[in-house]
Amino acid sequence: MAGLWFEEFEVGQVFEHELSRTVTEADNMWFSNATLNTQPLHIDFHKAAQSEFGKPLVNSLFTLGLVIGMSVTETTLGTTVGNLAMTDINFPRPVFHGDTLRARTTIRSKRESKSRPNDGIVVFYHEGINQHGDVVLDCVRTGLMRKRPA
């Protein structure tokens, strides 16, 4: 199990996640079509070429899922009960086919669960960063985390 137990998280702790991934046209087309997102900016190259970006944008929900996914191995793999919330989601820069993303996670806060004595609540701040060092996503995620077994 690679994830951390509730007790192992420290407020202010920063994870520069090892994984990175280049986003492909196939990723964007598959995700947009699988989620029935018919936005031409994602799936219509002709229409996207006429936009201010001049090419298709990667679906923002794909970007969100990818960045959080890149954080799992080092933070929550096998030690989480589940997500409680995702808030303050921002996409300050677009993501395009061929961009390579990496993730950084900072622990914002943690507290004991009032209703679940074997669990605690951790607030994660995730950032997605492209190959140029630009932040393309930031969000706050609250997770219900397992405490270390007795």
CATH fourth-level superfamily of 6-146: Hotdog Thioesterase (3.10.129.10)
8 Å CB contact between 75 and 16: no
| Residue-level pLDDT at 150 | 83
Rounded CA gap, 117 and 107, in Å?
A: 21
pTM: 0.94
Average pLDDT of the chain to the nearest whole number: 96
Please report, in angstroms and rounded to a whole number, the separation of the first and last CA atoms in the chain: 16
Q: What is the pLDDT of residues 14-41, one digit of tens each?
A: 999 999 999 999 999 999 999 999 999 9
Q: 142: alpha, beta or left, given left = phi > 0 and alpha = psi -120 to 50? A: beta
